[in-house]
Amino acid sequence: MAPLAKINPVLPVSHQFDHFSDDFREKFSCFEFRSADHVEGWAGDALVHTGLSLTMPDFASQIDFDNLRKAPVRRFSFDVGPCFREVETVDTRYVGVGEKLSVDQVLSIAKTNLESVREKFPANCELAFENLNYYPTGAYDGVCDAEFCNRACSELDLKMVLDVAHARVTAANLGYKFSVFLNQLDLNNVNEVHLSRPEINNDKLSMDRHEQPDDEEFSWLKVILDRIGNARSKPVDVVIEYYRDIDGIMASYERLQKEFCQQ
């Protein structure tokens, strides 16, 4: 097997962050924040990953561009979708409000909203979107599969944050194998990977649970990094999205370091 793509382990700044020891935090050179508000005064390498959507009317007003320009934010990521301008959240899942948008309309609205603010981001800040996970509420139709991800990257000039759990949930809930999703996805667009364990069910709805990644998740990460290859000059940022307990988080990052950083 050819060498895998190099990775850069990234620690999310979550509610657990202050509970980590200084020694553990010092193992990381990059941290991921959930909002531009949180990077004020930050001097190190930073990613900002939000739950904002380019289809929402208030996308621009939700971003603190002043803080973004004051911090070394290397990547800012968001959603493209769901397929409604407005949604309600029911049992952690989006339900559309008002008129449903076609995929073409989603991308057109996203492009208009993005172009109106693109120049407000720091010059060296990469813009990326994260794939949504598909649930059969109507709000996710057409905006979760690999084909849509490829179109969004191409038509909006974005890179991609590949959330493996989201993609696995999408594949399971649409009735096909995750390997099909990966085969259809242009991994050249992927500069960041989010890793956690979803609840995959063959006979009922699969769910994104943000559980601690196990052997299957790390095996899929290996497949992804193998397909990306090692020709890139920059590593792939990898964030473990498990937040429940300190020991589990540390153990997951230790495994990540051991299996993928000591090639």
Beta strands in the chain (DSSP E): 7-12, 30-33, 45-53, 73-79, 84-90, 93-100, 126-130, 159-163, 190-195, 197-199, 207-211, 236-240
**Residues facing 86 on adjacent strands:** 97
pLDDT at 1: 61
Domains of the chain in start order, with CATH, are 7-260 (3.20.20.150)
- Rounded Cα distance, 89 and 96, in Å: 9
- Rounded Cα distance, 120 and 165, in Å: 31
- Rounded Cα distance, 167 and 163, in Å: 6
Per-residue pLDDT of the chain (263 residues; tens, 9 = 90+): 678 999 999 999 999 999 999 999 999 999 999 998 889 888 899 999 999 999 998 999 999 999 888 899 999 999 999 999 999 999 999 999 999 999 999 999 999 999 999 999 988 999 999 999 999 999 999 999 999 999 999 999 999 999 999 999 999 999 999 999 999 999 999 999 999 999 999 889 999 999 999 999 999 999 999 999 999 999 999 999 999 999 999 999 999 999 999 75
pLDDT at 263: 59
pLDDT at 135: 98
pLDDT at 2: 73
> Residue 211 is encoded by which pair of tokens?
């559980």
- Rounded Cα distance, 182 and 171, in Å: 10
- Rounded Cα distance, 223 and 109, in Å: 34
| pTM tops 0.95, yes or no | yes
